Chain A
Amino acid sequence: MRKVYMAVVLLGLVAIIGNHLTSPSSGRAVSPEDFAGACAPCGAPCPSKK
Chain B
Amino acid sequence: MSTATLSAPNTGAALGIDRLFLSLALAATAILIALVLLDGQTASALLIVGGFGLGVAFLKAEFSYTASWRRFLTRGEAGGLIGGLIVIAVAALAIVPVAALSKGFGGAIAPLGVSLIVGAFVFGIGMQLANGCGSGTLYTAGGGSGRMLIALAFFMVGSVFGSLSLPAFLRLGGIDPVLASDYLGPWGGLIATLFSLVLAAAIMAAVAVKRGANWKPSRNYIVGGIAIGLLCIFVFAAGGHPWSVTFGYTVWGAKIFQALGFDFSHSEFWQWAGPKHALAESVLSDTSSLTDFGMLFGAMAAAAATKPFAANAWPPVKSLLAAAVGGLLMGWGARLGFGCNIGAFVGGVASGSLHGWVWFGSALCGCLIGIRLRPLFGLSKD
Residues 31-50 of A, flagged 1 when their CB comes within 8 A of B and 0 if not, give 11111111111111111101
Whether A25 pairs with B282 at a CB distance below 8 angstroms is: yes
Q: Report how far A47 CA is from B246 CA in the complex, Å.
A: 22
Whether B274 pairs with A43 at a CB distance below 8 angstroms is: yes
Whether B281 pairs with A35 at a CB distance below 8 angstroms is: no
> Which parts of A2-50 form the interface with B (CB within 8 Å)?
2-6, 8-9, 13, 16-17, 19-20, 23-48, 50
* Residue in contact with B170 in the complex, picked from A20, A32, A44, CB distance below 8 Å: A44
Distance to closest chain A CB from B315 (angstroms): 10
Residues of B within 8 A of A17 (CB): 31, 35
Q: Report how far A36 CA is from B166 CA in the complex, Å.
A: 19
Q: Report how far A6 CA is from B166 CA in the complex, Å.
A: 35
Q: Report how far A30 CA is from B176 CA in the complex, Å.
A: 23
Whether A16 pairs with B284 at a CB distance below 8 angstroms is: yes
* Residue in contact with B287 in the complex, picked from A13, A30, A36, A47, CB distance below 8 Å: A30
Whether A41 pairs with B110 at a CB distance below 8 angstroms is: yes
Q: Report how far A36 CA is from B272 CA in the complex, Å.
A: 10
Whether B21 pairs with A5 at a CB distance below 8 angstroms is: yes
Residues of A within 8 A of B347 (CB): 41
B145 nearest CB neighbor, chain A only:
A1
Query: Is B278 an interface position by the 8 A CB rule?
Result: yes
> Which parts of B171-196 form the interface with A (CB within 8 Å)?
171, 173-177
Query: Is B362 an interface position by the 8 A CB rule?
Result: no
Residues 7-22 of B, flagged 1 when their CB comes within 8 A of A and 0 if not, give 1010000000000010
> Which parts of B126-146 form the interface with A (CB within 8 Å)?
144, 146
Residues of A within 8 A of B277 (CB): 26, 30, 32, 35
Whether A1 pairs with B6 at a CB distance below 8 angstroms is: no
Whether B32 pairs with A25 at a CB distance below 8 angstroms is: no
Q: Report how far A28 CA is from B255 CA in the complex, Å.
A: 20
Distance to closest chain A CB from B300 (angstroms): 8
Q: Report how far A50 CA is from B32 CA in the complex, Å.
A: 39
Residues of A within 8 A of B285 (CB): 23, 25-26, 28-30
Whether B166 pairs with A44 at a CB distance below 8 angstroms is: yes
Residues of B within 8 A of A40 (CB): 109-111, 177, 338
> Which parts of B264-301 form the interface with A (CB within 8 Å)?
269, 272-275, 277-278, 280-288, 290, 293, 300
Q: Report how far A13 CA is from B240 CA in the complex, Å.
A: 26
Residues of B within 8 A of A2 (CB): 6-7, 9, 21, 309-311
Whether B282 pairs with A31 at a CB distance below 8 angstroms is: no
Query: Is B1 an interface position by the 8 A CB rule?
Result: no
Distance to closest chain A CB from B326 (angstroms): 19
* Residue in contact with B273 in the complex, picked from A3, A24, A37, CB distance below 8 Å: A37
Residues of A within 8 A of B244 (CB): 31, 41
18 residue pairs A–B, Cβ–Cβ below 8 Å: A2-B9, A2-B21, A5-B309, A9-B28, A9-B300, A16-B283, A25-B41, A27-B41, A28-B44, A32-B275, A33-B106, A38-B273, A40-B110, A41-B338, A42-B163, A42-B272, A42-B335, A43-B274
Supplied contacts A9-B28, A16-B32, A16-B284, 9 more A-B pairs, CB within 8 Å = A4-B149, A16-B293, A25-B281, A31-B244, A33-B241, A34-B106, A35-B277, A44-B269, A47-B111
Binding site for A on B (CB under 8 A): 6-7, 9, 21, 24, 28, 31-32, 35-36, 39-41, 43-44, 47, 106, 108-111, 113, 144, 146, 149, 163, 166, 170-171, 173-177, 239-241, 244, 247, 250, 255, 269, 272-275, 277-278, 280-288, 290, 293, 300, 309-314, 335, 338-339, 343-344, 347
Smallest CB-CB A-B distances: 4 pairs: A32-B274, A43-B274, A35-B273, A40-B110
